[in-house]
Amino acid sequence: MKRYQHITEVAAPLQDVIDFFRNPCALKALTPFPIIVQFHMVQPMQEGSVVDFSLWFGVIPVRWVAVHHDIEPQIGFTDSMMRGPFEAWVHQHRFEKVNATRTRILDTVDAQPGSHPFWGAISKFMWWNLPTLFAYRGWRTRHALEKRRK
């Protein structure tokens, strides 16, 4: 398995960050254009809840089904891919209070790209672009949460 980690700090209280990320629809706000997110099913976040969606890369739909687990209300949660282009994908979201008005977000992704000729190539492309994706996600998170505070 490969590991990718990204840290973002945002000028927002811990609870605001937790509330933002507990909303599965935040995925749409955190996905860069031109990728389109289409939800098929979204269960409220709790232990074992499922989110079923497609990521559209132009005309190519990538179906993704994830289950939430290890939910710790003031610390974070993990989502694991049940269906998608990777052989395995586990994304741990952790939130740390820096002070009353700042929060650190630590994303850790452990993944194994797929071996299928087509879907394996898609998973490798997605893996190589994680630094860009998480830089964008950090920017969008800061924008969404810091804008609320002004």
Tens digits of residue pLDDT in 96-107: 999 999 999 999
Whether the upstream peptide bond of residue 32 has omega within 30° of 0, thus cis, is no
Looking at every residue in the chain, the average pLDDT score rounds to 94
DSSP code for 11: S
User: How do strand 2-10 and strand 60-72 relate by DSSP bridges?
Assistant: unpaired
Average of per-residue pLDDT across 72-80 = 95
- Residue 149 confidence (pLDDT): 56
Backbone angles phi, psi at 131, to 5 degrees: -60, -40
Average of per-residue pLDDT across 55-67 = 95
pTM, 2 dp: 0.93
- Residue 28 confidence (pLDDT): 87
Domain parsing of the chain, residue ranges: 2-149
Average of per-residue pLDDT across 53-77 = 95
Question: pLDDT band for position 148 (50/70/90)?
Answer: low
The Cα–Cα gap between 123 and 113 comes to: 5
- Residue 136 confidence (pLDDT): 97
The one-letter amino acid code at 39 reads F
- Among residues 148, 145, 147, the alpha carbon closest in space to that of 18 is found at 145
CATH superfamily of domain region 2-149:
START domain (3.30.530.20)
Average of per-residue pLDDT across 86-105 = 98
